[in-house]
Structure 1
Amino acid sequence: MPNEWITQQGERVSLQGEWTLRHYAALKRTLQQQDSLSANAVTLPGFEGLDTAGAALIVELLGVEKTKQVGEWATDLPSAQQALLVRIAEAMDAPLDSSPKSPNRPTDTLATVGQQMVALWSQQRQLLGFIGLVLATFTSLVFRPRRWRITATVAHIQQSGFNAVPIVALLTFMVGAVVAFLGATVLQDFGATVYTIDLVAFSFLREFGVLLAAILLAGRTASAFTAQLGAMKSNEEIDALKTQGLDPIELLVLPRVIALLISLPLLTFVGMLSGLAGGAMVAALSLDISISQFLITLQKDVSVTHFLVGLSKAPVFAFVIAVIGCLEGFKVSGSAQSVGSHTTSSVVQSIFMVILLDALAALFFMEMGW
């Protein structure tokens, strides 16, 4: 039975030549013609070429168990070809589990929770590292005025601060009116509608003024920062800056951070005044409390400490919002879908962090008695 693939040598039969996909059909026909070929009589001196298609035919001829022991009886066969035959034999011996595993709801739920916790931990580590990088860069530049980006900072103050004044003022004015109306509705049953002034003042000076302004900036400005830096990342503009020896943190991040550090306290002040104006309007129209009485009660009952407590939160919120927006922009991978997902992530993270920090600050100030 001599041919280019099978050679008879007495009682022994040698497999040789090229056992590859190119000759698969011919090899299949040749093996079908050799009905009396015994696996125990086969020797493997070596092949000129051997791939997975040829190895599968050899495994079918020899059997899985004999092929797995090829290193013991085919010592002349190169080690790479031995390893390929063993690997194909193991793959052909693996059971085919066609039935899908039944879902395990508790296990799947725990796995999902674990994955989310790992992702959250990784995200917070990245945020802390980026905050450290921003602070280190700011510290290195604070005493070097020549490297300050004044023009970029002023431009971002206009975009994130001045242009946001109308929406912040309108929103806080309406919320102030709603808070005054709800407070008056409840306090009217006790004959204490005059304390609506204190309710509006305390809520806006301590919480609502800074919180509403920060949430608006988180949705308006953090998303803009992420989209701007993400587009630059997609267009490889940030890589170009690095190639030119420029620091993206210094050039792109610090002007945005400083702009928010300046803008948010001013917007908070605008929000406080607008909220008080909304409460004063409701008090004048629905409660017969004049504007002069509103201002006198405000001056008499409300300490300036409440104003300072609310205003002190603004720089912290501003820094967190700006850093999260810039970090998510740097994490964009290059596609439009990545820009959209990281923009959404920056808004959600910023709002979550603002509310979390506000709750922690409220507990701290309460324990301090401020």
Structure 2
Amino acid sequence: MPTAGNLTIERDTLVLSKDWVLTHFGELRSQVHEALANPDTGHRSVDWSGLGQLDSAGAMLIAELLGSERLVKLAEADASMAPERRELLLTVARATSGLDAGTSRQTPGLREALAAVGRGMASFYQDQKLLAGFIGQTLATLMSVLPRPGRWRLTSLVAHVQSTGLDALPIVALLTFLVGAVVAFLGATVLEDFGATIYTVHLVSYAFLREFGVVLAAILLAGRTASAYTAQLGSMKANQEVDALRATGLDPMEMLVLPRVLAMVISLPFLTFVGMLSGILGGMLVCVLSLDISVTQFLTILERDIALNHFLVGLGKAPVFAFVVAVIGCLEGLKVSGSAQSVGEHTTSSVVQSIFMVILLDAIAALFFMEMGW
């Protein structure tokens, strides 16, 4: 039966004796708090030569008494201490040091702010490096599977096309319809001052054929489907189902990633087309009801003044956006470490990264097409 530990002060020395274990945690904690009430406690030397049994609860109280940094220095400097006891004290001290730093940290200064920026940039670089490698691995898997029809996962592909494309049609159509109506309202409000409300037709058509149709559909898929991919693969990773596939000789890239990526690459162009039509329909409705532009006049202007290349530019961006969004969603799912918290963090990360990459790629494409005169 362990005897109750004791904490005494002899001259300028803190003397720790007997057994510091969980059984006597309440009594020991009151002694520690009483000692900490004295402001000179942190400057006294320590004598733990009479220390008996010690467990993690007692080590935590010693860390609270001495402070994590000081406990690490004392444990490392005491050559007479048993290795297992030293390792216990060091482990507890390092584990509690993060809590100490979090509670005692003052308002971060310039150095801490710059360090945080540097860590963020380094993390961003590593994420992009990993994404580039995963894209290469996905393309390599695709090239190896294409010549072998027996390895095509058609059932999985069709199922993902339905969940990614068909199930997303209503929300894409509704959102783009409403945005088309808003764009037409704004255009009419501004152009009315110049007596050029007829050009609202051009504004809505250009906006949805080149930009809004594909961008809105891609952002919706980033929030709706990329997050689902991450949650599905993350749950499988947490339940060790991905490891089970590898153990049975199956390739997770071929079984899990490739059907999802191809499904989104197939679905997004159709969703983009629906988004273009719905957005233009929303703008047409505003023109008919508010600007006295008939449906026939609207369609005539659309056919006469809007070139086909604007439609092709918008539709051509859809497979690229779809590939990037799907790859990010799958990669974040496979990065899950195994806990529910990790699943949530990577799901959030996949949505943020997907939307960021869609907008970034769209900006680059807009600059490229402008310079090319397309």
Which TM-score bucket, shorter chain as reference?
A: 0.7 to 0.9
Moved >4 Å (runs of 4+): 21-24, 85-88, 100-104
Q: After TM superposition, list the pairs within 5 Å mapping 1:185-334 onto structure 2.
A: 185-334=189-338
- Aligned partners of 1:245 and 1:53: how far apart in 2? 56
User: What is the deviation of 1:84?
Assistant: 1.6
Match of 2:353 in 1: 349
Q: Aligned in 2, Cα 1:279/1:102: closer, same or farther, shift over 3 Å?
A: closer
Q: Deviations over 1:89-148 (max 9, x none)?
A: xxxxxxxxx9x7865510010011011011111111111111111011111111111100
**Matched residue of 1:289: which SS?**
coil
Asked if 1:84 is matched to 2:79, the reply is yes
In structure 1, the gaps of 5 or more residues are 1-20, 25-51, 57-81, 89-97
Higher alpha-carbon Rg: 1
Q: Aligned in 2, Cα 1:104/1:194: closer, same or farther, shift over 3 Å?
A: closer
Asked if 1:158 is matched to 2:153, the reply is no
Q: Aligned in 2, Cα 1:344/1:102: closer, same or farther, shift over 3 Å?
A: closer
Match of 2:148 in 1: 144
Letter in 2 for 1:286: S
Q: Aligned in 2, Cα 1:202/1:102: closer, same or farther, shift over 3 Å?
A: closer
User: What is the deviation of 1:54?
Assistant: 3.9
Q: Aligned in 2, Cα 1:151/1:253: closer, same or farther, shift over 3 Å?
A: same
Percent same amino acid at aligned positions? 65
Q: Deviations over 1:303-334 (max 9, x none)?
A: 00000000010000000000000000001111
**Matched residue of 1:84: which SS?**
coil
**Matched residue of 1:246: which SS?**
coil
In structure 2, the gaps of 5 or more residues are 1-16, 21-46, 52-76, 84-99
Q: Could you tell me the TM-score, scaled by structure 1's length?
A: 0.75
Asked if 1:169 is matched to 2:173, the reply is yes
- Aligned partners of 1:55 and 1:282: how far apart in 2? 87
Contact 1:55 1:85 in 2 (8 A): no
- Aligned partners of 1:127 and 1:312: how far apart in 2? 22
Q: Deviations over 1:177-204 (max 9, x none)?
A: 0000110011011111000000000000
Q: Aligned in 2, Cα 1:267/1:102: closer, same or farther, shift over 3 Å?
A: closer
CA RMSD in angstroms comes to 2.5
Match of 2:139 in 1: 135
Q: Aligned in 2, Cα 1:86/1:167: closer, same or farther, shift over 3 Å?
A: closer
Q: Aligned in 2, Cα 1:296/1:236: closer, same or farther, shift over 3 Å?
A: same
Contact 2:18 2:50 in 1 (8 A): no
Q: Could you tell me the TM-score, scaled by structure 2's length?
A: 0.74
